[in-house]
Structure 1
Amino acid sequence: MVHLADPDAVAALLHEALADPGTAWSLGSFGAIAEFMRDPDEPISGLPDDRLGMATARGAIALSPRADLRPVAYETSVSSGWNHAVALCLPEDACAMSRRSVVTELGPDRDAARPQDRDGVLFDLGLDLRAVDACVRTSDPEAIACLRAGCGRPVFDPAGPIGQRLVALSPHRVFLARIGRVEVYAPIPGPGGTSPEGPHTHVLPKLLKGGRTHAATTPIPAGLVPCAGLHPAHPYKDMMGQRIAFDAGRHEAFQVLLDRWGDPELVAIKRGAGERAAPTVSSRHAQGARRVAEVQARYLRGETIAAAAGDEEEDEAADVHA
């Protein structure tokens, strides 16, 4: 059974995270994700409607909280330490999006975060994701013609016209879920390129084939599906994953979120409340919580821990940016 969260507490969580430039955001599924982040001094503009969020010159986030939105704070063990986030989840029976499997023209994007983008034409890339529609938007006649020529085909069809030209055309990427959207305006990096600092997207065809909504290491309670996430400032790395000096204040700030929004049974295991996991907790997630506790204790003691390659599960696959 999925328990509802206090709407006022959820709204406060979202407002506080949006006000903090140190918090990054993501919206997507396992293998396809859009990320929004901003610099502390970066100009922002509010949205012209009642959605929560903002726009910058590089991207935008627009959220529409629902009564059934459930935040889930979690930490996962990785080779160099741990990752943390607060997943924004919906019940399984409330998260479904269009599930289109071919490129489809959707018409003008009347819900664009910025008024100047609302005449741009929106195209669903047809990735057939459960809780997310991965789309692109453009007002450029050449890009529109190319995308229209690919309609009715899978976006990765080798014989289709889109894949070979998508990088050069670099339309806006617009990822949609029942709780909102993230838009990315930065150009798509070419082959061998790296994600730009700031808003960007990843599409990983190898991971998409699994049809999963989230990584197996992510402890999402049964009955919930993550649609988006907020990523508070991490204690030992910046938004782009680069190492920084350990910040105990950042660590403590997330522990407050973990105590408020985390799975109580996993939090108890991490805090050492019991040797054995509850029957509802997977052994994998229980062991991960213990490993996180151990490595955090080392950081808090001031021990130096070397950086390791492969910090993210997604890094194990070839990274195809979109």
Structure 2
Amino acid sequence: MSVRPQADADALRAVLRQALADPMPTWSLGGYGAGATFRRDPDEPADLPSDGRPGLVTPRGALVLGEADTLVPVAYETALGGDGWSQALALCRPLALLPPCPDPVVSELGPDDEAARADDRDGVLFCLGLPLRQARLLARVRGAAVPVLRAACGHPAGAALWARLPGLGAVLVAASGRARIEIVLPDAHPGPRALWFDKLLRQGRLHAATAPIPAGLAPVIHLHPPHPLTEAGYDHGRHAAFQGLLARWGDPTLVALKTSILAGETVAVPDSRAARAVARVAQTQKKYLALS
């Protein structure tokens, strides 16, 4: 990765505020194999988290950004199968500042003092002990569900416990520092979703191999802006908006490569996975831009 410009905290805060006001983006928090995603419907009621924290609270879940504006932004696109691609703004933390993975067993943490809604702070949090460094995957329960989770303490959280959580009225919480996503179980698509894939967790990766995250950083939160390719055609406004994020927080060498390809220049694509992916994305976008 080439040297990237320093993050502008004011610019990052402005991007996050704009994204919070738009129902189309998807947010995710967690690590490779487990975490949570947050999205709301355009007509879904949304309030602010308690104590004036940045974020959103809906009947189906909550997003609290906490100190997200202090993280390191990295914008990138990844090539998918065929002509597909994804785009994301990853908010990263230096590896040296990540805590170790929790003990691999269920453990009780006490009342949820950081709950997005003040009324939920009497709920009891239990850490599920998943092997994640970027976040903790937690379950918040009340009443008769509390002794059920206490009985699970000291044992690994397996598929059987995961399957029981919705029936216990649990709220799944993915938390990193003061940032979190809360999911009212059972989850539904589209909307807030809880993620837990044992096969991916066992790989011990911090992120997907296709994500060009600079060495020494780990993505904690992802903002996925609305994609420019829509059923109605190619959305130039969405395209331009994400190109602005790339220009500010993308890898400068990859951004320059893409700019040259979009401009129709003949360029030699470096022999790296990230460069080849950027070239594929640029050629695909160039086709759609020409057709629209």
TM-score scaled to structure 1, two decimals?
A: 0.82
- 1:187 matches 2:186: yes
What residue number does 2:116 align with? 113
- 1:218 matches 2:217: no
- 1:85 matches 2:85: no
In structure 2, the CA distance between the partners of 1:267 and 1:95, relative to structure 1 (3 Å rule), is same
Residues 36 and 182 in structure 1, CA contact (< 8 A), matched pair in contact too: yes
- Once the two structures are TM-superposed, the CA of residue 97 in structure 1 deviates from its matched residue by 5.8
Equivalent residues in 2 for 1:1-322, closer than 5 Å:
4-65=6-67, 68-80=70-82, 81-96=84-99, 99-141=102-144, 143-156=145-158, 162-178=161-177, 180-188=179-187, 195-236=188-229, 245-272=233-260, 274-277=267-270, 283-302=272-291
Larger fraction in helix:
2
Residues 75 and 82 in structure 1, CA contact (< 8 A), matched pair in contact too: yes
Over the matched positions of the two proteins, sequence identity in percent amounts to: 47
What residue number does 1:311 align with? none
d(CA) in 2 for partners of 1:169 and 1:67?
A: 35
Residues 12 and 69 in structure 2, CA contact (< 8 A), matched pair in contact too: no
- Once the two structures are TM-superposed, the CA of residue 302 in structure 1 deviates from its matched residue by 2.6
Mark the runs of 5 or more structure 1 residues left unpaired by the alignment. 189-194, 238-242, 304-322
Could you list the per-position Cα deviations for residues 57-103 of structure 1 after superposition, in whole angstroms to 9, with x for gaps in the alignment? Answer: 01111112267511111100001410001001011112326523111
What residue number does 1:315 align with? none
Partner secondary structure for residue 260 of structure 2: coil
- Once the two structures are TM-superposed, the CA of residue 246 in structure 1 deviates from its matched residue by 2.9
TM-score scaled to structure 2, two decimals?
A: 0.90
d(CA) in 2 for partners of 1:105 and 1:179?
A: 19
Could you list the per-position Cα deviations for residues 184-239 of structure 1 after superposition, in whole angstroms to 9, with x for gaps in the alignment? Answer: 11414xxxxxx4221111111110000111100001011111001111111225xx
d(CA) in 1 for partners of 2:70 and 2:209?
A: 23
In structure 2, the CA distance between the partners of 1:13 and 1:50, relative to structure 1 (3 Å rule), is same
d(CA) in 2 for partners of 1:298 and 1:96?
A: 44
Residues 131 and 178 in structure 1, CA contact (< 8 A), matched pair in contact too: no
d(CA) in 1 for partners of 2:154 and 2:224?
A: 36
Residues 166 and 185 in structure 2, CA contact (< 8 A), matched pair in contact too: no
In structure 2, the CA distance between the partners of 1:234 and 1:138, relative to structure 1 (3 Å rule), is same
C-alpha RMSD of matched pairs (Å): 2.2
Partner secondary structure for residue 294 of structure 1: helix
Q: Structure 1 counterpart of 2:9, which letter? A: P
- Once the two structures are TM-superposed, the CA of residue 180 in structure 1 deviates from its matched residue by 0.5
- Equivalent pairs counted in the alignment come to 284
Residues 11 and 65 in structure 1, CA contact (< 8 A), matched pair in contact too: no
